[in-house]
Structure 1
Amino acid sequence: MRHTLPIAPQFYVTAPQPCPYLDGRMERKLFTALQTDNAEKLNDTLSRQGFRRSQNVLYRPACSECTACLSARIRVADFESSKSQRRILKRNGDLVRKVSSPWATDDQYALFRTYLDSRHSDGGMADMDIYEFAAMIEETPIRSRVVEYHEGDVLRGVCLTDVLEDGLSMVYSFFDPKLEKRSLGTQLILDHVDIAREADLPYVYLGYWVPGSPKMGYKSRFGALEVYRGGEWQRLTDPSHFAKEAHPLSVDPIAEQVARIQLPDSRPTSK
C-alpha cells in the first residue's frame, strides 16, 4: 500500500509481521527512501519526528493496534550520570575510542557475529553475511561515522553513528557479550553523550524504547530522557506511566499519520 504527500518523498507501509519486542503483537512500519539530493535535511527533519535510518531507508512504527514503540533521545545539557553509570565509566576507563568514516572491517564483522549469536540468535539479522553487514555500515547517503572501542589491540565495541543537525543518532551498536560486568552497551551510550557534549550537539538519539520489552528496558535508566509521543517530545519522568497496552482507537489511520508529517522547508499538510 502506498500513501503520498503532495510533494516528494513517497511513503509506504510494510506488511504486518510478528513484533520482535512484544509477544503476540504484529508490527508494521511506515517508511520512505532516503535517496534524494535533500537526504541530510530529510533525515534531520524526520528524525525529529520519531523516524530512524536503516541504510537508505527512514522508518517509523505504524502498527494498527499498538503505539508502544517510542523514539527516545537524551537531552545532553541536562544529563547527569547516576552512581552506577559512573562506576561503568570507571570500569571501562581503559577503552580507547577510534572514529572513522563508515567502512566495514573483518574485525567488526567477527565481533558483530559473536554479539548476534549470543544476544539475538533468533532475530531478523541473525543470518546477515559479511556483504550484508558491509552494506549496513557503508550504504549511507548522509554524514555517518563508525565509532570503535578498543582494549589494547582488541576490538570490544562498535557503533554506527549518524551526525544530525541537532545531535548524534546511534543507528546500531554491538559489543563483546562475554564482558557482561563491563556493561558495554551502557558505556557506548555514555560515551556518545560525551561526544555530543564536546561537539555542542543537544541530543543523543537512542532508537526506540518499548515499555514492557526486556530488550529495550535499559533505555529508561538514562536520565534526561525524552520520548516522541502524540506528535511531540515529552520528558520521561516515570516509565510506569507508559504502558505497553494501547486502546484500539489510539492509533490514527496511516493516511492521517502521513498527512501530519512535516517535510524540510514545509509546513504540516494538516493538523
Structure 2
Amino acid sequence: MTSLARLKFYATQPHDCSYLPEQQATTLFLDPSQPMDEEVYAQLSEVGFRRSGDHLYRPHCQACSACVPARLPVAAHVFNRQQKRILKRNADLEVTRSRPACTDEIYALYARYIEQRHADGDMYPPSREQFMSFLVRDLPFSHFYEFRQAGQLLAVAVTDVLPNGLSAVYTFYEPEQAHRSLGRYAILWQLEEVARLELDALYLGYWIRGCRKMNYKTEYRPIELLVNQRWVRLN
C-alpha cells in the first residue's frame, strides 16, 4: 500500500466556483506524473478525492468548506417506496459494461443531455474533445455501463471499479425519457452492482448544502459525509 504522505500534490490558483456563484475555488490535484494506480485512487477516495479525466482532485478552498464528499454504504442501504417504483419502472432495461469510447451513438446521447439539461453549466456547449478528455480514458478500472431498452441507448453511467467500491464519475441519459428517472435509476443500479461485486460503498462525489443540483444525493439513506476527515453517517 502506497503511503499517502509520499505523494505530491499541487494547488491551482483561485478560480470561479462551478457550484456557488460569486465564490472563488481552489483545487488540489495529485501530481500528474504519479501513475493512475487503483490502489492509490482507492486510498485517496477515502479522504475525499475524485477523478476527472487523468486527474485525481479535491476542493481545497481556504475560506469555504461547502463541498462535502459523500458515499453510500451498500450493506446498510434500504430502498424506499419511491426508489422501488423507479427500479420497477426500469426493469425492462438491459445493462452491459463496455470500455470507454466516443462512438457516434454515445456522443449523440451525451450532447443531447448537456444541451437540454445543463445549458447553464460550464460543460455547455458539448464537444467531442471535451467528452474525450473528461470521460474516455484508457484506465483499467474505468467502464461505461450502457442502459438500453430494446437496443436503444437510454443512459450511460461512467463508473470506476475500485477495491473499496464503485465511484460514480458521471451519468448522462436521454432527456426525453424523464418519466423513467434515469439519473436516479443509474444510482440505484450502481448500488446493486456494489452489492453484486461484494464491495463496500458507492462514492457520489461532493454534496453541497443549498445547491439544488446536489439535493438528489441525500435522497439515498443512509449516506456518509466526510466531515473533519471522518465519515459521518446520516440515517
Within a 5 Å distance, the mapping from 1:190-229 to structure 2 comes to 190-229=188-227
Give the partner amino acid of 2:211. S
- SS of corresponding position for 1:226: strand
Residues 235-254 of structure 1, C-alpha deviations (whole Å, 9 max, x = no match): 124xxxxxxxxxxxxxxxxx
- SS of corresponding position for 1:123: coil
- SS of corresponding position for 1:216: helix
Residue 178 of structure 1, CA deviation: 2.0
Query: What CA RMSD, in Å, does the superposition of the two structures yield over aligned residues?
Result: 1.9
2:141/2:160 contact within 8 Å kept: yes
Residue 231 of structure 1, CA deviation: 0.6
- Counterpart of 1:27 in structure 2 is 25
- Counterpart of 1:164 in structure 2 is 162
- Counterpart of 1:262 in structure 2 is none
- Counterpart of 1:50 in structure 2 is 48
Supply the distance in 1 between the matched residues of 2:122 and 2:76 (Cα, whole angstroms).
35
* TM-score, scaled to structure 2: 0.93
% same residue? 38
Residue 180 of structure 1, CA deviation: 1.7
Within a 5 Å distance, the mapping from 1:53-72 to structure 2 comes to 53-72=51-70
* TM-score, scaled to structure 1: 0.81
Within a 5 Å distance, the mapping from 1:1-271 to structure 2 comes to 8-37=6-35, 39-237=37-235
Residues 94-116 of structure 1, C-alpha deviations (whole Å, 9 max, x = no match): 11101112222111111111111
Supply the distance in 2 between the matched residues of 1:194 and 1:34 (Cα, whole angstroms).
33
- SS of corresponding position for 1:67: coil
Supply the distance in 2 between the matched residues of 1:227 and 1:6 (Cα, whole angstroms).
21
Supply the distance in 1 between the matched residues of 2:226 and 2:5 (Cα, whole angstroms).
24
1:29/1:63 contact within 8 Å kept: yes
- SS of corresponding position for 1:23: coil
Supply the distance in 2 between the matched residues of 1:86 and 1:207 (Cα, whole angstroms).
24
Supply the distance in 1 between the matched residues of 2:33 and 2:100 (Cα, whole angstroms).
17
Query: Are residues 227 and 97 of structure 1, via their aligned partners in 2, closer, same or farther at CA, if it must alter by over 3 Å?
Result: same
Supply the distance in 1 between the matched residues of 2:208 and 2:214 (Cα, whole angstroms).
6
Residue 57 of structure 1, CA deviation: 0.6
Supply the distance in 1 between the matched residues of 2:131 and 2:42 (Cα, whole angstroms).
24
- Counterpart of 1:240 in structure 2 is none
Task: Structure 1 unaligned segments of length 5 or more: list them.
Answer: 238-271
- SS of corresponding position for 1:223: coil
1:55/1:140 contact within 8 Å kept: no
Query: Are residues 37 and 18 of structure 1, via their aligned partners in 2, closer, same or farther at CA, if it must alter by over 3 Å?
Result: closer
Supply the distance in 2 between the matched residues of 1:7 and 1:183 (Cα, whole angstroms).
42
Task: Structure 2 unaligned segments of length 5 or more: list them.
Answer: none
Supply the distance in 2 between the matched residues of 1:139 and 1:35 (Cα, whole angstroms).
16
